[in-house]
Chains A and B, each alone.
Chain A
Amino acid sequence: MIPITHYLVVAAALFSIGLAVAVTKRNAIGVLLGLELMLNAVNLNLVAFSRHDPELLRGQLFALFVIVVAAVEVTVALAIVLRVYSHYRTIDPDQISELKK
């Protein structure tokens, strides 16, 4: 039986790495990869706490809805990325700065 603290530390590591990926990647799809990692870390926390709630499993239900919303988010984000690419010919977030000029 693994103590819950170990799950939480692993999830914290995954969340931090996902944040670093989302900040450092110079590509909109790389940012999406980081977001997926962060959502997975959150789900891992929910599942780990849900282990102590075997009658109702509320944590696992919440994690299920998080997975649904993550799928929706990545679908719409990729459609937007395709539109941005067809308009600017790049998906580097640093170069899409027309509103600043």
Chain B
Amino acid sequence: MEQVAFYGFSALAIISALFILLTRNLMYAAFGLFLALVGVAALYVLAGADFLAITQLLVYVGGVLVLLIFGIMLTRPADERPDAASRPNRVEVANQRRFWGILIAVVLFAIFSFTILAGNFALVGDVLISRSTIRTLGVELMTSHLLPFEIAGILLLVALIGAAYLAINRTPSA
């Protein structure tokens, strides 16, 4: 049962990621990212990270993805190419870049797979079994990881102010 769930959600994540790679419509790509993120959250649950899966759903699906879709809608490129006539010698190179990008990805995946399969990990220690991680995470965040926690808070504040400052008043003349 666990195997079926693992391979099903892995297939969901990887197929959605491939859909993002192959589609031309950016909005469809955002929905593909939604499916991929849900698949990864399910893999977190299967690895015993319940709190992290909920955080993934809240932050990525609830926040980042909505933000990305707003960005896509606010920056729609013009349908027609008005400058096509002024630059008649312009050569489209999308196909070539697509070829090289996919080739690099395939080579990288081959290297990763070879390394992982040759690595033969032998891990010592107990394995997490069906116990909620919230208590451990909370205690660790408030004791040994307090400084990174505070720095993350300050980083979020700085990003909030910086993003608001950058995005507001986009046309200074108006």
Complexed CA–CA distance, A19 and B111 (Å): 14
Complexed CA–CA distance, A63 and B77 (Å): 35
Q: Which of A15, A21, A65, A85 contacts B75 (CB 8 A)?
A: A85
Number of A-B contacts (CB under 8 A): 239
- Interface range, B side: 35 or more
Tell whether, in the assembled complex, residue B26 and residue A7 are in contact, meaning their CB atoms are under 8 Å apart.
no
Contacts of A96 in B (CB 8 A): none
Contacts of A12 in B (CB 8 A): 109, 112-113, 116
Tell whether, in the assembled complex, residue B71 and residue A81 are in contact, meaning their CB atoms are under 8 Å apart.
yes
Tell whether, in the assembled complex, residue B2 and residue A17 are in contact, meaning their CB atoms are under 8 Å apart.
no
Nearest chain A CB to B133's CB is how many angstroms away?
6
Contacts of A99 in B (CB 8 A): none
Complexed CA–CA distance, A61 and B107 (Å): 31
Contacts of B125 in A (CB 8 A): 52-54
Nearest chain B CB to A21's CB is how many angstroms away?
5
- Interface range, A side: 35 or more
Given A24-B102, A82-B74, are A36 and B47 also a contact pair (CB < 8 Å)?
no
Check if B123 is an interface residue, CB within 8 A of chain A.
Answer: yes
Complexed CA–CA distance, A16 and B114 (Å): 14
Q: Which of B36, B94, B102, B108 contacts A37 (CB 8 A)?
A: B36
Q: Which of A67, A81, A82 contacts B59 (CB 8 A)?
A: A67
Complexed CA–CA distance, A43 and B36 (Å): 13
Tell whether, in the assembled complex, residue B43 and residue A72 are in contact, meaning their CB atoms are under 8 Å apart.
no
Q: Look across to chain B and name the residue whose beta carbon is closest to the beta carbon of A75.
A: B163
Tell whether, in the assembled complex, residue A15 and residue B6 are in contact, meaning their CB atoms are under 8 Å apart.
no
A-B contact pairs, 19 of them (CB 8 A): A1-B127, A9-B117, A12-B112, A16-B108, A19-B101, A21-B17, A29-B72, A32-B68, A33-B30, A47-B43, A54-B128, A54-B131, A55-B126, A67-B59, A67-B60, A75-B159, A78-B71, A81-B71, A89-B78
